[in-house]
A = this chain, B = another copy of it.
């Protein structure tokens, strides 16, 4: 797992290629974790869920009492609203830390349907004002507000029979792991993970929407021009219902090839693959990969694992694969995936920045590079979240530099200046009319060359031969200069060698020409 925020709170995601390897159901220890504070230490035997407010029979349930009610088991993909946030933060740092594309995982969840529970306690009618159902974790869980993490949900969405909202106490047939809400959590299939309160302690039914600190001040998508908390306050937008995130948006990502994966050009085809999910119970209908920036698309095969429920709703990811000739991969600048849902809506082409970096779902774009001096190509993802460039899972199949590092932190980080310039937000008062200046910036990102209208850049022909890292190459093709870094800017005064930096020249001097060298350790 890649830890994203130090030791506490524990926030982590697995390498995407491991998610791929495990298939439909994610082992609990690989399931992404998002905690807002210390993981509460609760006991099955002493935990209570207090139910109050506009119900006929307010009561406190023990876990033993809860599990005596009817239960259901359904597979559900959970996903962090911040999945792929690192891509947003590289445009401009917003509120929230960097997630890669692996903050999504699937389990079979078992629990008591909320409808059954609400019937059991006698939820009052909407005419009597029972409009909102509020959920809270334990006091002291989080640092802000009243120190509980809570969410307020519209009664209609929670009681919709087409959506199996539940109080879940098992995950893949075992009691919940503490990081996933032991002993009991709210589970709302199709919603973002942040709305499914873990360590569930309190439910209250109210007439007005709840105002729990994390309900109002977290999990919100503001328009792009809201560039700071102060701007959000100025535009009076914190409590705007249109900014709340509940159902997730559609999204897809590529996990094969992996970041920095190397493929020989002698291989005829490569199986590109990844995942896709959608919200609100709506199925993913189509996945397509483009090698020409979206002008034509190759259809992918979809692997479906889930049977739609009685109302045709689905709540899990699909996986997808498409065979692409390696030659075509080599000749394109980048390839990208997009998905379509059953309403013929599709993933957006470009990112739209928002303050909290939530719900990032533009086409997932992977760049293709030649391996220097080799008959091979390597792939560059938008970002990577491993803590340093030497930390790579599954090094055998990766392209590494001569000192064993990954050659790139992801193309969006490598090109951060240009990526940010193309998609950065601006306050409403500063909206430019010069769309073409922006378009030039966005377009540069694909080919990494300035385009000049009719003469679009063509990728150069691939080199072949043995693999030699750039650092290991020397000379200029002439016999005289073999072994010399002819383009080095630092000339040694004692011999013909040149070096890329003064520091390298000093090292050279110290070990080759320095008369005192042999006296050192």
Contact = CB atoms under 8 A, between A and B. Distances in A.
Interface of A: 126, 154, 156-157, 159-162, 221, 223-225, 242, 245-250, 278-280, 282, 285-286, 288, 290-299, 302, 308-313, 328, 331-333, 341-346, 348-350, 352, 358-359, 361, 423, 425-426, 428, 431-440, 443, 446-447, 450-454, 456-458
Contacts of A332: 433, 435
Contacts of A435: 290-295, 332-333, 446
Contacts of A248: 343-344
Contact of A431 (B126, B292, B310, B434): B292
Nearest to A223: B299
A343 B297 contact: no
Contact of A348 (B278, B343, B346, B425): B346
9 contacts: A223-B288, A250-B345, A278-B343, A292-B433, A293-B435, A295-B439, A296-B426, A436-B446, A450-B454
A225 B126 CA distance: 50
- Number of copies of this kind of chain in the complex: 2
Among the interface residues A278, A344, A450, A451, which one has the most CB atoms of the partner chain B within 10 A? A344
Given A223-B286, A331-B433, A435-B295, A159 B250 contact: no
Nearest to A457: B436
Among the interface residues A295, A297, A311, which one has the most CB atoms of the partner chain B within 10 A? A295
Contacts of A246: 342-343
Contacts of A295: 423, 432, 435, 438-439
Nearest to A330: B433
Nearest to A288: B223
B296 A425 contact: yes
A308 B242 CA distance: 14
A349 to B, nearest CB: 5
Contacts of A154: 312
Contacts of A311: 156-157, 159-160
Given A246-B343, A296-B426, A346-B348, 5 more contacts: A250-B343, A280-B282, A295-B438, A348-B348, A437-B456
Given A160-B311, A311-B156, A440 B456 contact: yes
Contacts of A426: 296
A291 B433 contact: yes
10 residue pairs, one from A and one from B, having the closest CB atoms: A436-B456, A293-B435, A292-B435, A156-B312, A295-B438, A242-B285, A156-B311, A450-B453, A247-B343, A296-B431
A447 B288 CA distance: 30
B159 A292 contact: no
Nearest to A281: B280
A457 B453 CA distance: 12
A221 B279 CA distance: 21
Contact of A310 (B156, B242, B302, B456): B156
B450 A296 contact: no
A161 B311 CA distance: 9
B292 A432 contact: yes
Among the interface residues A159, A436, A440, which one has the most CB atoms of the partner chain B within 10 A? A436
A39 B344 CA distance: 30
Nearest to A302: B242
A423 B294 CA distance: 10
Contacts of A439: 293, 295, 443, 451, 456
Given A156-B310, A157-B312, A294 B346 contact: no
A278 B242 CA distance: 15
A440 B453 contact: yes
A261 to B, nearest CB: 20
A96 to B, nearest CB: 15
A452 B453 CA distance: 5
A438 B293 contact: yes
